[in-house]
A = this chain, B = another copy of it.
Amino acid sequence: MSTGFELPLRLLLGFRVLIDELHEELARQGHPGLRPMHGFVFQAIGPDGTTAVELGRRLGVSKQAAGKTIGALERLGYVERGEDPDDARRKVVRLTERGIDCLVRSAHIFDGLRDRWAAVLGEERLAAMEADLRKVTPEELFRPDFPQWFGGH
C-alpha cells in the first residue's frame, strides 16, 4: 500500500513528531511557551544578529511584521535590540544569553532524537534516509518563510 499519497504525509508527520518532542523537552529544560516557528526565527536571526528589514526578507514577511515578531521575542527575553555604531538608523537584533541557551539545548535535543531514531531504524538506514532526502530536496536547508507558505486560505 505505497500510494503516492502517503509519502508527503509521512514526511510531515515525521517532522511534527520531532518538533513536538523537541518542544516537550525544551519546556522541561526551562523554555516553555515557545512555538515551532520560533526556531525558524532564531535561525533567521543568526549568530551575528540582523535587522528588522533583513529579518523580514528572510522570513518572507514585511519589515513591520518582523518588527512585531522581534518585539514579542524581546518581551520573552530571547532577543535584544542594540545600536549599530556604523549606522545610526539600524537597530541590530541579537539573541540574548537565554536565546543562545535555547539554541544550544535545541541542538542537543535534536541529536538525542536522532539517536533514538537510529536505535529504532539502525544507523545505516537512518543515514540512508537522510542521504536520499538530500537527493530530492534543495541544497539550502532553511526556508524560513515556511509559516507564511503554509497558511492562508
Task: Write the residues of chain A forming the contact surface with B, with a CB cutoff of 8 angstroms.
Answer: 2-19, 22, 35-38, 69, 72, 106-107, 109-115, 117, 120-121, 125-130, 132-138, 141-143, 146-147, 149-153
Contact = CB atoms under 8 A, between A and B. Distances in A.
Q: Copy number in this complex? A: 2
A114 B129 CA distance: 15
A149 B20 CA distance: 10
B153 A69 contact: yes
A69 B153 CA distance: 8
B150 A111 contact: no
A5 B110 contact: yes
Contact of A13 (B6, B110, B141): B141
Most buried by B among A4, A6, A7, A141: A4
